């Protein structure tokens, strides 16, 4: 009995060291996606709301394609498809590019609805003071939008943590890949529980981060 417990503990520590590089990959993919996709999402949202019909329509189509096809398919397309076209991208950058392009489409819709939820009188209030479009956006509209879109953004962030596991389809070794290999090799199920625990801890942390952000922005209204 005791020896089997010891055995499990040993296995667990062993597994932890095995998945550590995977955790690093998940973190990197997660952070890089966040850092680039949110600003890109804001830019896309502003373009989508612009008076320029061609710009607005192209962004609509972009959002439709990115949200309308599986992320897994997009990963394969960017990594292998681009390779076929003679553009060779490394696995990890290919994953980052795909995740950024995909998540930016979701963020674009979140920011669009956020911007549109700001009362017209706020735009008019800035306009009559003489502020131009970009000044109005930067100082009045976007700060208020950011506060309003925090809950849906938090939602996307949690999804993103779990979606990083899709990167395995282009051969990226992240947490889930390692866990799967171990489970198959030793014919046991507990590595999956470890993976589940990892994702749960990550989502817990970021849920708390977003709670704190929402509290921080509660200083007005």
Give the residue among 164, 48, 172, 152 at the shortest CA–CA distance from 100: 164
Nearest CB to other proteins, comparing residues 144 and 165: 144
Three-state SS annotation for 158-186: HHHHHHHHHHHHHCCCCHHHHHHHHHHHH
Indicate which single residue of 139, 162, 208, 216 sits in contact with other proteins (rule: CB under 8 A). Answer: 139
**Do residues 137 and 46 make contact, with C-beta atoms less than 8 angstroms apart?**
yes
Nearest CB to other proteins, comparing residues 22 and 114: 114
Q: Is there binding between residue 130 and other proteins (CB under 8 A)?
A: yes
Indicate which single residue of 7, 69, 117, 135 sits in contact with other proteins (rule: CB under 8 A). Answer: 135
Indicate which single residue of 128, 187, 189, 215 sits in contact with other proteins (rule: CB under 8 A). Answer: 128
Site string for other proteins, 140-169 (x = CB under 8 A): x--xx--x----------------------
Stretch of residues binding other proteins (CB under 8 A), selected from 63-71, 87-95, 137-145, 160-168: 137-145
Give the residue among 113, 94, 95 at the shortest CA–CA distance from 155: 113
Q: Is there binding between residue 216 and other proteins (CB under 8 A)?
A: no
Stretch of residues binding other proteins (CB under 8 A), selected from 39-47, 53-61, 135-143, 156-164: 135-143
**Do residues 175 and 19 make contact, with C-beta atoms less than 8 angstroms apart?**
yes
Q: Is there binding between residue 119 and other proteins (CB under 8 A)?
A: yes
The tally of CA atoms less than 13 A away on the side-chain side of residue 218 is 8
Look up tokens 């597994």; give the residue: 15
Q: Is there binding between residue 132 and other proteins (CB under 8 A)?
A: yes
Residues of span 10-29 touching other proteins by CB under 8 A: none
Give the residue among 22, 25, 21, 29 at the shortest CA–CA distance from 157: 29
Instruction: Write the DSSP symbol of residue 115.
Output: H
Q: Determine the size of the site formed for other proteins (CB under 8 A).
A: 21
Indicate which single residue of 7, 124, 205, 211 sits in contact with other proteins (rule: CB under 8 A). Answer: 124
Q: Is there binding between residue 131 and other proteins (CB under 8 A)?
A: yes
Helix axes 175-186, 2-48, angle to 10 degrees: 150
Indicate which single residue of 4, 5, 53, 221 sits in contact with other proteins (rule: CB under 8 A). Answer: 221
Cα angle 75, 157, 189 (rounded to 5 degrees) comes to 70
Look up tokens 């956020």; give the residue: 114
* Residues of this chain that bind other proteins (CB under 8 A): 119, 121-122, 124-132, 135, 139-140, 143-144, 147, 219-221
């Amino acid at each position: 009995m005791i020896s089997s417990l010891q055995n499990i503990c040993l296995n667990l520590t062993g597994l932890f060291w095995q998945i550590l590089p995977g955790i690093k990959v998940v973190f990197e993919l997660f952070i890089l996606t966040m850092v680039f996709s949110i600003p890109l999402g804001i830019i896309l949202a502003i373009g989508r709301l612009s008076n320029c019909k061609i710009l607005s329509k192209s962004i609509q189509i972009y959002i439709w394609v990115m949200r309308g096809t599986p992320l897994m398919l997009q990963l394969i397309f960017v990594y292998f498809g681009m390779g076929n076209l003679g553009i060779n991208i490394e696995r990890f950058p290919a994953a980052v590019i795909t995740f950024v392009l995909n998540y930016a489409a979701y963020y674009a819709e979140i920011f669009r609805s956020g911007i549109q939820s700001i009362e017209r009188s706020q735009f008019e209030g800035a306009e009559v003071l003489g502020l131009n479009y970009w000044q109005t956006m930067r100082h009045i509209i976007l700060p208020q939008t950011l506060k309003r879109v925090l809950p849906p953004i938090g939602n996307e962030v949690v999804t993103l943590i779990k979606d990083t596991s899709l990167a395995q389809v282009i051969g990226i070794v992240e947490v889930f890949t390692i866990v799967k290999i171990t489970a198959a090799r030793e014919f046991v199920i507990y590595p999956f529980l470890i993976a589940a625990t990892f994702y749960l801890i990550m989502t817990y942390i970021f849920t708390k981060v977003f709670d704190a952000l929402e509290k921080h922005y509660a200083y007005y209204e």
